[in-house]
Structure formats: structure tokens, C-alpha cells
Structure 1
Amino acid sequence: MQDKHRIQADLDWLINSPDFLSVASVNELHSGNLLNANQLLVNVVGESDSFRFEPTHRLGVYFEQLWHHLIRSNPSYELIRSNQQVIINKQTLGEFDSIIESHHAKETVHCELAVKFYLQIGSGEEMANWVGPNLRDRFDRKFKRLLSHQLALSSKVEVKAWLEQQQLVIDQSALLTRGRLFYAIQNFLNQTYTHPAEVATDHLKGFWATHEEFNSYREQNNFEWYQLPRMYWLSELTENDYPEVKKLGRLNQEQLATIVGMQNGKEVVRGFVVTDEWLQRARQRVLTLD
């Protein structure tokens, strides 16, 4: 269970942190007509008191819970459906993350959500140069599925018929993305932020380093370092979180770790420390065509 302080911090982070993907750039580069779901967060106030945490160890599921709470708390909108699976002839064709009705505009919006974290392997200009920490997730493949499957779900002929049967109408599709890109440490320190055109320029940034690189960097600063559990990857770490996180000791060379540097109780930087084996597999991953 996330505590009240952490939930409040994560709600505020969802409301105020920058887009991960630039909806305007996505529309321009891919001939889309997506709404930026940030419009649904205008004037919203997220309070943790009434938040219903459903136990999960999946960060994406927790992120969806935060979003659904914010929409339910906003009197301008009604959450019609959440995590609505589309099952036709016993076959699951997809899922709508959230279907929202705007009382003011009298429109129904399908909003797709994504919270993503990618590490740079290569120049960084192409989406294929970015992989997730577990290496199963590569940016270009995830983005293609987001556009061609998830956001296009309501436009499929059979799904349109299913929506009519459910007495649902979808007038618009919208996208809300949050996340962070982790740059190779020298690029990060030099502020050489080469990223795909679809990524928002002001996206959140961090670094990744091998154990040797991190140990060298660690000796050059006086930050206090902590290891971040996965459920703490969203908002900045604060002193309120110290009882729940481990102070970073000497890392095992075989350990992949998410870390955060603190100074005077404030988060300064966060990153990943990767193993040599992980790096070898990551380089292979960006070269794989599938």
C-alpha cells in the first residue's frame, strides 16, 4: 500500500509533470488528430484522502488508478468506463483505458494512458535506440502498438458495432503520457539530449551508467544516494520517503539498480546502474528487427 504522502506526491506529479510524448508532434508526424489529455486536468485538484488503492506491484496499473481518481474527482467529467475490455466472439480485441464524458463539451473521449521509462542505447535520435529496463520493451515497438492498435481501437468496424451494442459513443481519442528518458551518463552530464522527434522537449531526464562509471561519478559529488523501489519511480523522492527506501551501499556488480541522488533532503538526479550483461543484451536488443 502506498502511504498518503506518496499518493499525494504521485497525484501532483501526474497533474504537473511534463508530457513524455508531444501530442502536437505525434499528430504532425503521423497525420493524427489526437487530443492532449492534459486538457482534462485543467483546474483539477487531486486529494489523496479519497484515493482507492487497489493492491498492485505494476506501476502502469497504479498510474491508471491515479488517473481514474483524478477524473472521478473532477465535477466537469464523468468516468464512463475504465479498463474496458472489448470481447467479441470470445476474442479480446483490446481494451479502453478510460472512456470519459465531458459535461461542458457534451463529448465522450477515449483516453489512452502510458507511463514509460527508456534507456538510451545508440544515438538516441530513433525510437529503436531506446529500451526499457527489463529489455522486453523497445520504444519503437511500443509506440507503433500505441498508435496502430490502442488509439485506433474505436475506429475498427467490428468495435464500432460492439460500441453501439454497449450504448457507447466515442467522439474523440486522447493521449496522456508521462515518463522519463535515461541518457548515457556522459551525454547526460554534457546535456547532449538527442531524442526522437515525438518526445516532448521538456521531458524528464535521468542517466544510466555501468557500475564502473557510476562509482567514478559518485566519487565526484557529495550526494546521498538511495535505491528506488519500482513503485517510487514517479514523483520525486522526499525525506518523508526515507523510512521506505534503502540508502545505497556498495552495489553488487551483478545488480541492476534504480537510484536517486539527494542533497539537503531534495532530489537532485536519478538514474540506473546497469550490469555489463544487461548492456550487452541491450545493444543486441536495439539491433533486433522484431
Structure 2
Amino acid sequence: MEKDNLQRNFEGYLSTPRLWQNAEIYGLQQCVLSKTSLRNFSVINAGNLRLGKLVEQFVFHQLSDDDSCSIIAENIQVQDGKRTIGELDALLMTESRPVHLEIIYKFYLYDPEEGPTELSHWIGPNRKDSLLQKLDKLKEKQLPLLYHPKTQSLLDDLGLSTSETIQQVLFKAQLFLPLDHQNIEFNQLNPACVKGFYVKMDNLELFKTGQFFIPEKINWLMDVHDDVKWMNYDNFLLKLNPLTNKKLAPLCWLKQHGKYSKFYVVWW
């Protein structure tokens, strides 16, 4: 990844709020990182990572600038013989006690017809995952890994005990609303996470006079900027159609009437 894009992604990560603020959801407590003046990211080889691993590096970089805690270990593999049971994202030492931290960064779209509750409406762009599925996985698989017998020897080596260690998540997300459903009410989640909208193919003509860009997935974190090769509507469709035909919902950028927007085009 180019250095400029790496920096833009880091700034996009920093500007993304936590998915919920003060209240706990599913009994999950959000980690609140100290306010930081950190703005530059220069970790070598970070540009070759998948999006999820890149976010982890951004978090570790931010934590390294936080005087109130220190990183004890990152990406701790828990194994039973040759079989990997799972991984703890990070173990931290804070001013009060050790913390097991799980790091999540997601992109969710609001489907008003999906489920009966605020949390159940949020799904992945390709409908292969959902917010509820991720919360369940955290609660039932990822966080209980701390108490697995095979984790105990790893903790012993680090001088930690499960009884003293608390568990937190750093759950950030970018949320996208239907084009015709922009005024939804947020009771549990953070409305500041809304970054754009989504449309079906049938509604794309509304933006026929705009200019378009389709970033690679590794660049989904960053905010829209002008230093790209914008496409007109016809060229955009030529690039878009093969993706939607494969049932892929790409994140796209729009420049129209002097405004910039992020949006998904969904096939469903």
C-alpha cells in the first residue's frame, strides 16, 4: 500500500467512533482509549495486511502512545497440540488491572425488514454476516477463550491471572442507511457512526451526473478524497456490473454538486 493511502486509512480509523458509547451492549464493555495527538502512522510492512489485521496495527500503534496502559502481548495464539483453538487480540496492563481486549471494525447496512430490534437491522454488505452474529461470537467464543484451560499456561508465563483480568472490546463501525430511509432513530448504537447510504442498482440513475470511484477493500477505512481517477456514470457501470453479478456489494465514492459521499451498491 502506498504511504499516502496507509496514512489516510489510519486517519479514517482514528475518526471512526465506537459503535456504542456509555451503555453496555450484550454485557460488552467498550475500551475507551485516551485522547491522543497521534496523527502519523509509519509502521513498516503494515501495507501488506488484510483489512482486519491492518486495523489491529492501528490500534496497537495508538495504544503505544497511551501512557495509561502498556501492551503485554499481541495476537496470542491458543493451541491444543497442533490445533489452533483461537486467538486473543491483545493483553494490556492498565493503571488498575490487566485487560483482555478484542478489536472489531465493521461495515454494516441498515435493513428495516431484517429482524424486530435495533440491533438486528444491521447486516454486512453482502448479507453474509450481521451485528447480532458478531456480538454472539464475541460473547460465546472469543471472550470465553480467556478462560480456556489451554490459555492458562500462556497467562502464567505472562504473570497474569484470569481472576484479575477484565475483558473489553474496541468495536468501531461505519454504518450505512438506505437512501430512502435516512431518519432512523438510534437508541443503543452511536449515530455518529453513520458514514453514508446504500442504493440498489435501480436507483443509481439518481446520480447520473456524478463522478465515481470504487476503492479497494483495504482502503475502505479512509474518507473520500479527490486524489483518485474519477469515472463518469457509464464507465462506473462497466466496472460495477461484474461485481454485482457476482453478488458483491462494493463500497463506492461519489462526487456530485460539490459534495463527496460514501455509498454501497447492493445486489439484493
Does the alignment reach a TM-score above 0.5?
Answer: yes
Q: Which residue of 2 aligns with 1:177?
A: 171
Q: Secondary structure at the match of 1:18?
A: coil
Q: Secondary structure at the match of 1:209?
A: strand
- Corresponding residue to 1:207 among 191, 197, 203: 197
Q: How does 1:1-290 map to 2 (within 5 A)?
A: 1=1, 3-20=2-19, 22-25=20-23, 27=24, 29-32=25-28, 34=29, 36-39=30-33, 41-48=34-41, 50-56=42-48, 58-102=50-94, 105=95, 107-123=97-113, 125-156=117-148, 159-160=151-152, 162-169=154-161, 171-187=165-181, 191-194=182-185, 197-215=187-205, 217-219=206-208, 223-240=210-227, 242=228, 249-252=235-238, 253-256=241-244, 257-262=250-255, 268-275=260-267, 279=268
Q: Which runs of 5+ in 2 are unaligned?
A: 245-249
Cα offsets for 1:181-233 (capped at 9, x unmatched): 2222211xxx22256x5422321232111112122x204xx543222211121
**Aligned equivalents of 2:73, 2:232: Cα separation in 1:** 41
**Aligned equivalents of 1:260, 1:152: Cα separation in 2:** 39
How many residues in Structure 1 have an aligned counterpart in Structure 2? 256
**Aligned equivalents of 1:19, 1:111: Cα separation in 2:** 14
Paired residue type of 2:237: L
Q: Identity of counterpart residues, as a percentage?
A: 21
**Aligned equivalents of 1:226, 1:112: Cα separation in 2:** 32
Q: Which residue of 1 aligns with 2:247?
A: none
Q: Secondary structure at the match of 1:84?
A: strand
**Aligned equivalents of 1:246, 1:23: Cα separation in 2:** 38
Distance of aligned partners of 1:51 and 1:225 in 2 relative to their CA distance in 1, 3 Å threshold: same
**Aligned equivalents of 2:43, 2:254: Cα separation in 1:** 29
Q: Which runs of 5+ in 1 are unaligned?
A: 280-290
**Aligned equivalents of 1:174, 1:162: Cα separation in 2:** 19
Cα offsets for 1:98-153 (capped at 9, x unmatched): 11223xx1532221111111223334644443322343222211111012222333
The alignment's C-alpha RMSD in Å is: 2.9
Cα offsets for 1:151-195 (capped at 9, x unmatched): 3332445534542244334622222122212222211xxx22256
TM-score scaled by length of structure 2: 0.81
Distance of aligned partners of 1:236 and 1:264 in 2 relative to their CA distance in 1, 3 Å threshold: farther
**Aligned equivalents of 1:198, 1:211: Cα separation in 2:** 31
Distance of aligned partners of 1:264 and 1:207 in 2 relative to their CA distance in 1, 3 Å threshold: closer
Distance of aligned partners of 1:85 and 1:99 in 2 relative to their CA distance in 1, 3 Å threshold: same
TM-score scaled by length of structure 1: 0.75
- Superposed displacement of residue 261, structure 1: 1.7
The 10-residue stretch of structure 1 (120-129 or 10-19) with the greater mean CA deviation from structure 2: 120-129
**Aligned equivalents of 1:61, 1:107: Cα separation in 2:** 26
**Aligned equivalents of 1:101, 1:264: Cα separation in 2:** 49
Q: Indicate if the aligned counterparts of 2:199 and 2:266 stay in contact, CA closer than 8 A.
A: yes
Q: Indicate if the aligned counterparts of 1:123 and 1:194 stay in contact, CA closer than 8 A.
A: no
Q: Indicate if the aligned counterparts of 2:75 and 2:90 stay in contact, CA closer than 8 A.
A: yes
**Aligned equivalents of 2:221, 2:124: Cα separation in 1:** 15
Runs of 4+ in 1 over 4 A off after TM superposition: 245-248
**Aligned equivalents of 2:85, 2:4: Cα separation in 1:** 38
Cα offsets for 1:258-286 (capped at 9, x unmatched): 21123588x632111123xxx1xxxxxxx
Distance of aligned partners of 1:75 and 1:273 in 2 relative to their CA distance in 1, 3 Å threshold: same
Paired residue type of 1:225: F
